[in-house]
Amino acid sequence: METTPLRTYGGVAGEDRQAGRRAQLIEAGLRLLGSPDGPQELTVRGVCREANLAARYFYENFADRDALAIAVYDHVITEIAATTLEAVRAAPADARAKTRAGLGNLVRRIAEDPRRGRLLFSPALSATVLAARRVESTRWFVHLLGLQASEFLRVDPGPRLELLSQVLVGGLAQALTSWLDGTLEVAEDGLVEQCTDIFVQVSALA
């Protein structure tokens, strides 16, 4: 079956209009899932109301609400992963500098938009369709940490490094969760510096 090309309207190509509507829906989904009052119910009607779009535009982009939730999560984690890798690569070739750059970017992105942190770490979302996505992203961060430790601390890959990486990433997630909900009272710079200290010291144990 052939698809009909999207027409240009008002000087804007059809593909660009569709991409814009998709971005509106993802932003609406992030507002609902990352609400400071806890994740709101994600329904097609609610998302369309939040995005000020008709339901037909929802189904133009997503099969159902689960597909939207996954798209929202992937959008956030892709942006954080890309900027974190960029920060790590741009930092001096030193274990502490690389670690601080990566952690600093992660904390800054969450501080700039706490909805991102709630989406990634809120326990209230742990039983949703996003659970599998969280496992995948955690594995990615564990892998990244292991690579950095191997390269800059000259640590041989193996079960011990894997275990330490798992502990560090899991502990960081819990610390960021507590920081976001206010139970961990520490300034942003202090959080980055203390986590950097812990990461470098623990990684050296491998």
Whole-Å CA distances, 206 to 141, 147, 167, 169: 17, 13, 12, 15
Averaged pLDDT, 187-196: 96
What are the tens digits of pLDDT across the range 148-185? 767 766 667 778 888 888 899 899 999 999 999 899 99
Would you tell me the crossing angle of helices 95-112 and 131-152 to the nearest 10 degrees? Answer: 150
What percentage of the chain has pLDDT greater than the value 70? 90
What are the tens digits of pLDDT across the range 55-109? 999 999 999 999 999 999 999 999 999 999 999 999 998 888 999 999 999 999 9
What is the C-alpha separation between 95 and 187, in angstroms, rounded? 23
For the ranges 14-18, 25-29, 38-42, 197-201, which has the lowest average pLDDT? Answer: 14-18
Residue 3 has pLDDT above 50, yes or no: no
Residue 204 has pLDDT above 80, yes or no: no
What are the tens digits of pLDDT across the range 5-34? 555 544 455 677 889 999 999 999 999 999
What is the C-alpha separation between 5 and 154, in angstroms, rounded? 54
Residue 2 has pLDDT above 80, yes or no: no
Place of tokens 């430790």: 149
SS3 151: helix
- CB-based contact 109:86 (threshold 8 Å): no
Q: If you average pLDDT over every residue of the chain, what do you get?
A: 86
